[in-house]
Amino acid sequence: MKSPTRMPLVVANWKMNPTTSEEATRLFSAISASLKKTKATVVVAPPAIFLGALKQGMRKAPKHIALGAQNVHPLESGPHTGQLSVRMLYASGASYCIVGHSECRALGESDALVNAKVHALLKSRMTPILCVGELERDQSGKYYAVVETQVRASLHDVKKKDIEKVVIAYEPIWAISSGDGKGRTATPEDAHEMRLFIVKILTDLYGRTMAERVQILYGGSVNETNAEGIFTQSGVNGFLVGGAS
């Protein structure tokens, strides 16, 4: 198994938590203080409305901590009620942005829209964290095709020179804590086989050298108990963490 060569990346997806700016600031300060010596890049993705407040806290944060957004609109401006553009998020301190999260796909986000978001982010030098993952694992292995379609369609027209700027997060929906409520977690083998499969798709699209430069994360009920096993046994480059973050 090829071990990751880059610094691991851990993305904390706070989803719609906490409820106040004060709490978000407190949590962020506690995280930055406790991660001073961590050998990983840590991206905190709070609700966008708290980004500005956390940007202030970034001044005291170690260099390996960054801010991320949880979603973005692909256009720069216009009549798009409730939406935020790449530029707005960047100005608020975000340098990463999650796209294609299953909770957004469940509200109707298509691969084409995810693809437009990936392009908009790359254009502005923000790092897209592209989420892919199947709803269910079936005996006949159809879930591979689900993930392949998502990867190919979401990366449509992304150029070879840009692919290493994209982070891919494999998040099987059945293992996400908000998923089907059955509380299942993926095994290190599940994450390993899908990581290899995604590298194979990227190799088809961009060649092996570039494919191996893409950081692939695992997400879905990651916590302090299972993280080490998944990390060391699956070869993923890090995690996208929801509830436990």
Q: List residues with catalytic annotation.
A: 101, 171
CA separation for the pair 16, 144 (Å, rounded): 30
* Identity of the residue, 92 or 221, whose beta carbon is nearer to ligand PGA in the bound complex: 221
* Identity of the residue, 89 or 217, whose beta carbon is nearer to ligand PGA in the bound complex: 217
47 touching ligand PGA, by CB under 6 A:
no
DSSP secondary structure string for all residues of 205-236: HH-HHHHHHSEEEEESS--TTTHHHHHHHH--
134 touching ligand PGA, by CB under 6 A:
no
How many residues interact with ligand PGA (rule CB under 6 A)?
A: 13
Tokens of 219: 């997400």
Place of tokens 């689900």: 146
- The region of 19-27, 78-86, 121-129, 236-244 touching ligand PGA under the rule CB under 6 A is 236-244
Do residues 40 and 7 lie in contact, with contact meaning Cβ atoms separated by under 8 Å?
yes
- CA quadruple 108, 111, 112, 116: dihedral sign: positive
- The region of 70-78, 113-121, 146-154, 214-222 touching ligand PGA under the rule CB under 6 A is 214-222
- Minimum distance of ligand PGA from residue 186's CB (angstroms): 10
Contact pattern from residue 137 through residue 176 relative to ligand PGA, giving x for each residue in contact according to CB under 6 A and a dash for the rest: ----------------------------------x----x
177 touching ligand PGA, by CB under 6 A:
yes
Out of 32, 115, 221, 237, the residue judged to bind ligand PGA by CB under 6 A: 221
CA separation for the pair 194, 221 (Å, rounded): 16
DSSP E strand boundaries for the chain: 9-13, 41-45, 65-69, 94-99, 127-132, 167-170, 215-219, 238-241
CA separation for the pair 48, 69 (Å, rounded): 6
Do residues 198 and 216 lie in contact, with contact meaning Cβ atoms separated by under 8 Å?
yes
Question: Nearest residue to ligand PGA, using CB?
Answer: 242
Out of 46, 100, 133, 219, the residue judged to bind ligand PGA by CB under 6 A: 219
70 touching ligand PGA, by CB under 6 A:
no
Q: How many CB atoms lie within 10 A of CB 163?
A: 19
* Identity of the residue, 186 or 211, whose beta carbon is nearer to ligand PGA in the bound complex: 186
Out of 211, 222, 230, 236, the residue judged to bind ligand PGA by CB under 6 A: 222
Query: Where do contacts with ligand PGA occur on this chain (CB under 6 A)?
Result: 13, 171, 176-177, 219-222, 240-244
